[in-house]
Structure 1
Amino acid sequence: MADPLRVLLAGGGTAGHVNPMLATASALAGEHGATCAALGTSDGLESRLVPASGLDLHPVPRVPLPRRPSADLLRLPTNLRAAVRAAREAIEATGADVVVGFGGYVATPAYLAARRAGVPVVVHEQNARPGLANKVGARTAAAVALTFATTPLAARRGRTEVTGLPLRGAVADLVAQRTGDDRGAAARVAGARALGLDPDRPILLVTGGSLGAQRLNDTLAASAGDLAGVAQVLHLTGRDKDGPVRARVGDAADYHVLDYLPEMEHALACADLVVCRSGAGTVAELSALGLPAVYVPLPHGNGEQRLNAADVVGAGGGVLVEDAALTPAYVREHLVPLLGDADRLRAMGEAAVASGPGDGAGPLAELVVAVARG
């Protein structure tokens, strides 16, 4: 019997890096019997989530890659050497057969250390516009895995596959339920009841993520009167940002406000339409679940959120609205009619599912095993 595969996964800093990493580790262990460990910073989100998942965390110093002249750029050589050394020690301590990177601060040291140690690398890029760390990693990677088929990143010497994004366990379970015999009907009822909603009436989910989105909060709260009687609204404002929204909506009928929902799967199980930003994780989850959405990309940054939603919007599974264009008039003239059109929502949901590969945890785990086994 072959020895268990030993995998070192590198991802940290944000939930967008950590959650896919943990989902992949779960698939590698559960489906392939692999032994997994993780690289991450000692003060980031991964410092809590990785140990909580049962994985060993090997700390690596944070190494920002500056895009313009700065003090960080001057310190980069020294910081990078220390981080690569820590990553190399982790590779040796775990006896890693393969390193899997998800981008972010710890990925570049992991890629460089793996190359020096002669250990193959698999890069996973979650965004439609690849990050700098993964551009570096792709140059020598044995394989590159993509969430979106249109992402302009490929392994120069290895294979490139569209695996999709590895989904959080609760979301992956919900995807399975929605493709089961009752098409998720039981999950819808359970989710709605857990949130105090009526599963027999339309439900609009509004979310800007854990930090919230000011434009979504202001516009939807101002539109409470137009939405009343059309749909039940579950508005997740972002942590500690519920006060102004509650004050604005007052006692509007069927308008439910929370700042944060730990059991997000309840909301996803019962929503008929979602208004949200278009981070890679959000787009991948909603597409896999077949949830139609109105995507409102961040108006700043490098434009990756617009690109993240491009495939599903192009397929008809979502609508793209510029941040400045999401106004009460837009809600009244476009969102309200959409909520009342069950046939269109159903068609959008079907198009969303067809637009992407679904849960990427299994396919990515298979790719990692194939690379490690040569």
Structure 2
Amino acid sequence: MQAAESGRGRSIVVAGGGTAGHVEPALAVADAIRRLDPEARITALGTRRGLETTLVPARGYDLELIPPVPVPRKPTADLVKLPWRVAAAVRDTRRVLDRVGADAVVGFGGYVAAPAYLACALARPGRRIPFAVHEANARAGMANKLGVRLGGAALAAVAGSGIDAEVVGIPVRAALADLDRPARRAEARAFFGLPAEGPVLLATGGSQGARSINEAVAGAAADLAAAGIAVLHAHGRGNRVTVPEGLEAPYVAVPYIDRMDLAYSAADLVICRSGAMTVAEVSATGLPAVYVPLPHGNGEQALNATGVVEAGGGLLLADASLTRASVADTIIPLLRDPGRLAAMGAAAAAAGSRDAAETIARRVLALAG
């Protein structure tokens, strides 16, 4: 039953399961939809293997699970089974859409997006559901290219992604889009046990891409401490870092940071990967960055950071060049130059997008009618 028939608020489904790069934009848009239309009913679509199983319930949204449909990169037995797996996922997705009375769907790529697009587009006349496709990366993925071909309203973070789309930026949760870092600085540093004064470096590489960042930053711990630089280092669950004892400045190493708003507020500079969501969050908060793109994939991580770097809001450091010496040689001069940091922060904020979530939410609500 459609919302117009039931008299209840519009029903919107967000499909962004898998990694944080898919889940966080979906939740940022869900939050914006809720702000714009408090009567809207929002359902997240995901799989059992993704981060959505913890992130979605924590944000207060209903989660519906479907089978994941990864596409094998090489000819294998799994490739032969793919059509049946797709058909099963589309069938289950359609059942979810019918059960929640979906008025519109918005997908963000990943394992659940393609079944969602197919379920919307290939339904019988009269049961088709309008949908939008958001591409966060500088190079569009297979699922989102499919969604656009199937007739989804195309939205993208940047121009030239490989799909003909309206450029809207990347949706960032309000806690970061509206973050006043200087105002939260004292609270944030106390929260992590960092000194109230002096430069602080934030280091993070996620769980999968953390190894080389962990080794280089922890390896430079003594150099950073000798320069009076404190470090907040999220090394990833399942990873460990070895830090020398008796350092001249605090080195706080943790597996994971739940309060990224406070981590960004505590820091004067971040060294991190350049996944699309990371670049969006860092630039939206106006935090200067040293981006270290992952060395594998199709090169999209370097492209993700290109706009911010060209604007002057960050630097690129190749993973192959990431060593104790390169970290010390890059980080220490930056953190000793407050004027340059201020200019980089302003450039990052200007290059970032703070209103993408609301823009996308308005587009999706318009599709829902």
Q: Same fold (TM over 0.5)?
A: yes
Match of 1:53 in 2: 59
Deviation at 1:48, TM superposition (A): 3.1
Contact 2:273 2:293 in 1 (8 A): yes
Q: Which amino acid aligns with 2:218?
A: A
| CA deviation vs aligned residue, 1:209-250 (integer Å, no higher than 9, x gap) | 2446121111122222221233211122222423x423xx22
- CA pair 301-371 structure 1, distance change in 2 beyond 3 A: same
Deviation at 1:195, TM superposition (A): 1.1
* Range moving further from structure 2, 320-329 or 280-289: 320-329
Match of 2:157 in 1: 147
Match of 1:189 in 2: 186
Deviation at 1:111, TM superposition (A): 0.5
Contact 1:207 1:276 in 2 (8 A): yes
Match of 1:362 in 2: 358
Of the three residues 67, 70, 81, the one matched with 2:73 is 67
| CA deviation vs aligned residue, 1:25-65 (integer Å, no higher than 9, x gap) | 12112212321112222343223333343333222111112
Deviation at 1:150, TM superposition (A): 4.0
Identity of aligned residues (%): 50
Q: Which amino acid aligns with 1:135?
A: K
Deviation at 1:188, TM superposition (A): 0.8
State the distance in 1 between where 2:176 and 2:274 align.
20
Q: Does 1:124 align with 2:134?
A: yes
Contact 1:8 1:96 in 2 (8 A): yes
**Scaled by the length of structure 1, what TM-score is found?**
0.90
State the distance in 1 between where 2:182 and 2:55 align.
31
**Structure 1: runs of 5 or more not aligned:** 155-159, 179-183
Of the three residues 13, 17, 36, the one matched with 2:18 is 13
Match of 1:181 in 2: none
Match of 1:37 in 2: 43
Mapping of residues 300-315 of structure 1, within 5 Å? 300-315=296-311
State the distance in 1 between where 2:217 and 2:131 align.
45
Q: Does 1:225 align with 2:231?
A: no
Of the three residues 161, 167, 173, the one matched with 1:162 is 167
Deviation at 1:185, TM superposition (A): 2.4
**Structure 2: runs of 5 or more not aligned:** none
- CA pair 262-16 structure 1, distance change in 2 beyond 3 A: same
Q: Which amino acid aligns with 1:256?
A: V
Match of 2:203 in 1: 206
* Range moving further from structure 2, 83-92 or 323-332: 323-332
| CA deviation vs aligned residue, 1:166-202 (integer Å, no higher than 9, x gap) | 223xxx3244242xxxxx3230110011111123211
Q: Does 1:335 align with 2:328?
A: no
- Structure 2 counterpart SS, 1:62: coil
- CA pair 43-264 structure 1, distance change in 2 beyond 3 A: same
Q: Does 1:280 align with 2:285?
A: no
Deviation at 1:103, TM superposition (A): 0.8
Q: Which amino acid aligns with 2:288?
A: P
State the distance in 1 between where 2:328 and 2:44 align.
48
State the distance in 1 between where 2:177 and 2:172 align.
10
Q: CA RMSD in A?
A: 1.9
State the distance in 2 between where 1:287 and 1:101 align.
23
Contact 1:11 1:40 in 2 (8 A): yes
**Scaled by the length of structure 2, what TM-score is found?**
0.91
Match of 1:111 in 2: 117
- Structure 2 counterpart SS, 1:245: coil
Deviation at 1:260, TM superposition (A): 2.0
Contact 1:287 1:358 in 2 (8 A): no
| CA deviation vs aligned residue, 1:288-340 (integer Å, no higher than 9, x gap) | 00111000011112212111111111111110010111222323333211111
Q: Which amino acid aligns with 1:29?
A: R
State the distance in 2 between where 1:135 and 1:80 align.
16
State the distance in 1 between where 2:212 and 2:232 align.
16
